[in-house]
Structure 1
């Protein structure tokens, strides 16, 4: 193993790939995803980067400097927006990156803090979005893209939440707000922003600076729901981008009712928890009356 050295790690994955397989079929979906990854590989190399590996619908790259990675990320998004084949099939990517120390194995793989942080940035990114740490952006010099503050997010292995930003990669930014005030965790907490969960007599309060709250069948979760239709780690609730978001990671989906609205099924996707309502893991509330989670925001 080589010594740890500073480098920029970038993750990009195809947004909505699950729906792509459902609508196009396995063979065509794999062809389209392979075409996207090949295009991203070309952009990576044009900016002096190296592809570490591709896993399913995701690519992992490394660059010698933060500016290389940022410019590559912007060009990746532009390539997706210009390619008529990608546009026709409504294909898009989400990208996360971070500059920091990483270790290189003899087989060329990369490990360490920078990798973990970059992967976290990618998990926070939305379709057609580039998310990076404020520290990475602040290290840039020269002509760089504009950035909008997204507040703070927790990263595994770090004691305190870190500031993150959204890079404005679009060439025509007319009509866009290029600077967005960061959401300060302290301000939100002072304003009394709380998400309260109730389940079988247990009451849990989540605040903007709380760690991600996991729910599932395994005892290691913050909230254990023992049922055959509940996945081991079924869903997470986390404060990011100024809201409490529920992210489903399960096989059977999560059923959420917000206020008096109809019940929604969230499957491998995120939902903003507003007002008050119910959360049911794996089954609709009408079937799963015994393990319904009630929530309210305050």
Structure 2
């Protein structure tokens, strides 16, 4: 029977491993990745971490506390950039972590904390560490960790988006006598997206559910037109921006200023103000445009 424990869960994987296999071949690439994972595991052990498992080019570790996990994550990134062999192979890693309750069962770990940490790793880009803000919230100044807020992200199973932070690791201040690296949270103003369609107005923010558009009933905004697909597009707050995602047959046109762009089965970052036309260009549009404006509240 498993036991519940509060742990820091860390996922780290090799970025661009597919390209590595293509350029170096299966055997050489496998050896390089194995060396990278061994180095990451060694760093984790040095900070009191425990390897739970390796999954292809990824490792999953646990730490007893958030400080150990955060420090291990920064040292993992620095290890990649200080090892000549890894630099020569242009190796990069991405890391995600979260501190919370997990179910420890034999040699594996399950539960909400694992799912959230995995989501953080999926959000992270090459050479980046992404953590939930709650993981770094109570870290003292003396821990030597700096973070910056990068907005919120939605996690499967969570009703509301989770605030996330970028863990800073590239600044070397080891020579500084008094540690100045303080956990910082920038209190950003609330960003809202104002939408207007004919005589109807909507306002969405980072906590709102995705705003859906289509021809069928049940959408946030239903537009009855032959050009509009049943399930045409969606607008949601993602990684600090309002993102328009098209999933239609005919596409979605976005005009900002004098520039018009076709978005078809792709995503687009809505910025400033402009208009959206579903299914046809603005030149052919009959006047039923969706107006948008990003603003701070």
Flag the 1:105–1:195 CA change in 2: closer, same or farther, 3 A. Answer: farther
Matches within 5 A, 1:141-220: 141=140, 142-172=142-172, 182=186, 184=188, 187-189=189-191, 193-194=192-193, 207-211=205-209
In structure 2, relative to structure 1, the CA distance for the partners of 1:245 and 1:61 (3 Å cut) is farther
Residues 79 and 3 of structure 1, relative CA distance in 2, 3 Å threshold: same
Q: Paired residue for 1:127?
A: 126
* Change in 2 beyond 3 A, CA 1:34/1:255: farther
Matches of residues 273-288 of structure 1 in structure 2 within 5 Å? 273-274=270-271
1: CA distance between counterparts of 2:117 and 2:24?
31
**What TM-score does the superposition give when structure 2 sets the normalisation length?**
0.66
Higher strand fraction: Structure 1 or Structure 2? 2
Q: Which residue of 1 aligns with 2:238?
A: 239
Is this contact kept in 1: 2:151–2:163, CA < 8 A?
A: yes
- Report the Cα distance in structure 1 between the residues aligned to 2:14 and 2:263, rounded to whole angstroms: 22
The corresponding residue for 1:2 is 2
Gaps of 5+ in 1: 199-203, 216-221, 223-234, 249-253, 280-284, 286-293
Aligned residue for 2:54? 54
SS at match of 1:148: strand
> Contact 2:124–2:130 at 8 Å: present in 1 too?
yes
CA distance 1:84–1:296, change in 2 (3 Å): farther
CA offsets per residue over residues 164-222 of structure 1, 9 Å max, x none? Answer: 2222112437xxx98876364xx434xxx3287x9xxxxx986422346899xxxxxx9
1:36-115 mapped onto 2 (5 Å cutoff): 36-106=36-106, 108-115=107-114
Larger Rg: 2
Superposed CA deviations along residues 132-177 of structure 1, whole A, max 9, x for unmatched, are 122211232333211112233333333333322222112437xxx9
Unaligned runs of 5+ in 2: 174-180, 214-219, 221-233, 282-289
**Could you tell me how far apart the structure 2 residues matched to 1:183 and 1:36 are?**
37
For the 8 Å contact 1:13–1:59, the answer to whether it is kept is: yes
- The answer to whether the 8 Å contact 1:149/1:179 transfers is no
Q: How does 1:30-41 map to 2 (within 5 A)?
A: 30-41=30-41
**d(CA) in 2 for partners of 1:195, 1:140:** 37
Aligned length, in residue pairs: 261
The 1:210/1:278 distance shift into structure 2, 3 A limit, reads: same
Distance 1:264 1:166, change over 3 A: farther
Partner of 2:231: none
